[in-house]
Amino acid sequence: MEIIIELPAFSKKTIDKFAEKLKERNFDVFVPENPAGRPALLAAVTGTYLRTKYELGVYVSLRLLDVNLLHA
């Protein structure tokens, strides 16, 4: 069974804190793009960082269209 952990990228400090533990347990990581509408680090950049530095399996969510309530 493959376990994928969602890791919101709110700060580099948090990412580094959890990435080493996830690598030890051989988990893959899902990085959402602006989870719950909160500003966060870019998912593609965070995914690249996790893949190159920690050699984790990474799944990245990309937002192709920004839709808000005002449709502006």
Among residues 70, 10, 5, 4, which one has the least CA distance to residue 36?
10
Q: How is the chain split into domains, by residue range?
A: 4-60
Q: What is the longest distance spanned by two Cα atoms in the chain? A: 45
Global pTM reads 0.80
Q: Which residues pair with 14 in a beta bridge?
A: none
Q: Is the pLDDT of residue 7 over 70?
A: yes
Mean pLDDT across 36-54: 90
Q: Give the alpha-carbon dihedral of 65, 14, 17, 46, to 10 degrees.
A: 30
Calculate what percentage of the chain has a pLDDT beyond 70: 89
pLDDT of residue 27: 93
Q: Is the pLDDT of residue 21 over 90?
A: yes
Q: Is the pLDDT of residue 72 over 60?
A: no
Instruction: Quickly tell me which residue has 């399996």 as its tokens.
Output: 57
Q: Is the pLDDT of residue 29 over 80?
A: yes
